[in-house]
Amino acid sequence: MRGILRGTNIRVGDRPHVVLRVVFGVLFGIAGFLIGREAYANVFALHVTSQWTQIALLVLAPVAGAVVGVAFAPLAQSLFEEQLSLVEDAIERLAPSEIAGGAIGLIVGLVIAFLVKSVLVDFITIGGRTGTYIAIVTYLIVVIFASYLGARVGAKMRILPVPVAAATGSALAKVVDTSVIVDGRIVEIVESGFLEGTLVVPRFVLRELQTIADSSDPLKRTRGRRGLEVLGRLQELSAIEIGEREYDDISSGVDAKLVRFARELGARLLTNDYNLNRVAQLEGIAVLNVNELAGAVKTVVLPGEELRAAIVREGKEPQQGVAYLEDGTMIVVEQGRRLLGETVDVIVTSVLQTVTGRMIFARLKKE
């Protein structure tokens, strides 16, 4: 899981940097020395008649080539380290299955390029020296093209699927949606011990939460800040990890990224968003819905039971009062409007289950 979670960017440190500087300096110095010697043998020696001048050029040309090579070494080293950093960042954004598929594709591409090399031997035997140069250049182009194409196709097709649970080291990981963080009930669920495994918060979810917290809308800003406080409490419980995957090819929103991230991680999706719940189920991802959990643990009441409830507001119909159980279940009390603000005993008359939850209808016990 550490390859996807809490990604630690490996960068070239001071010691490797010095080693690379020495290596590039030596390689470019040797290359410049050889080029200078070839330049003397094929250019200078043919146009200079003085013996002393030829001796001087014999010494100075290779030395000058070596100096120029060493001078260009830092530039080549800087370019190499920059490209290496880009490759590292690209690999960190890949799933294990994509890396494995890319490796297989790269090997297949190299094998194909090697087979093409046997055809290029004809250029060597027929074309002489010119044919040899053409064959070498053509072979290098084929190697680069076949390797790149094989790696790209292998990564997209995921030729070698990697069991994500084995790759991550945890089959109980759960990807957390923004709605669950803002909701806040996840803290109590974790503290109660009913939720096992690692909670994974993708980096793009953190950015969305920060955007909400910085919103100009006071309501959104409050929700966002509450979400950040919830993350802080979860971090104190050592229950969360940060997912470092990014999906630049997905521009349709956070929900699509969450679905793909959960699928690649082999994790369950923790949410209370109904639409995201449905989409994830269609994608074959196991979903843990906090609202469904709350509905499953609500107090079960039957007609005829007595309850004690505090009437807190008026109902939609005349003379109705509304109260709530501790779990948030609404109780509609007939003739309860006149007792607004009081705690009374009621008798359950019926229970109605709706798509939004459970609703209890009751009458006053005194009546």
Q: Which CATH number fits the domain that encloses residue 332?
A: 2.40.50.140
Residue 197 is given by DSSP the state S
In a shared domain, residues 79 and 198: no
Which pLDDT does position 28 carry in this prediction?
Answer: 82
In a shared domain, residues 189 and 289: yes
Return d(Cα 13, Cα 96) in angstroms, integer: 26
Which pLDDT does position 10 carry in this prediction?
Answer: 34
In a shared domain, residues 72 and 113: yes
- 179 in any annotated domain: yes
In a shared domain, residues 354 and 242: no
Which pLDDT does position 167 carry in this prediction?
Answer: 39
Which pLDDT does position 126 carry in this prediction?
Answer: 65
In a shared domain, residues 36 and 53: yes
- Number of domain units in the chain: 3
For residue 150, give both structure tokens.
Answer: 């094989």
Which pLDDT does position 7 carry in this prediction?
Answer: 40
- 72 in any annotated domain: yes
- 329 in any annotated domain: yes
Q: What is the pLDDT along the chain (367 residues), one digit of tens a residue?
A: 444 444 433 343 455 567 777 887 888 888 888 887 777 677 665 665 566 766 776 778 778 888 888 888 888 778 877 877 776 666 666 666 667 777 777 788 788 877 777 776 666 656 566 666 667 777 777 777 777 777 777 666 655 544 444 334 444 688 888 888 888 888 888 887 777 777 888 888 888 888 888 888 888 888 888 888 888 888 887 667 787 777 776 767 788 888 888 887 778 888 888 888 888 888 788 888 877 777 666 667 788 888 888 889 888 888 889 998 876 788 899 988 888 888 888 988 888 876 566 788 998 887 6
In a shared domain, residues 152 and 31: yes
Which pLDDT does position 11 carry in this prediction?
Answer: 40
For residue 99, give both structure tokens.
Answer: 């890396």
Q: Which of 186, 175, 203, 212 is nearest to 287 (CA)?
A: 175
Between the alpha carbon of residue 344 and those of residues 100, 248, 322, the distances in Å are 66, 57, 12
- 147 in any annotated domain: yes
Which pLDDT does position 117 carry in this prediction?
Answer: 74
3-state secondary structure of 72: helix
In a shared domain, residues 120 and 54: yes
Give residue 339's domain range.
306-364
In a shared domain, residues 76 and 179: no
Which pLDDT does position 44 carry in this prediction?
Answer: 64
> Residue 69 in contact with residue 29, Cβ under 8 Å?
yes
Return d(Cα 52, Cα 69) in angstroms, integer: 26
Which pLDDT does position 169 carry in this prediction?
Answer: 41
Which pLDDT does position 47 carry in this prediction?
Answer: 64
Final residue of a structural domain among 259, 276, 295: 295
Read off the CATH number of the domain in which 228 is found.
3.40.50.1010
In a shared domain, residues 238 and 280: yes
In a shared domain, residues 69 and 122: yes
- 268 in any annotated domain: yes
φ/ψ of 268, rounded to 5, equals: -90, 155
Amino acid code (one letter) for 68: V
> Residue 270 in contact with residue 177, Cβ under 8 Å?
yes
Which pLDDT does position 122 carry in this prediction?
Answer: 63
In a shared domain, residues 291 and 194: yes
Token match 């991680």: residue? Answer: 265
In a shared domain, residues 42 and 99: yes
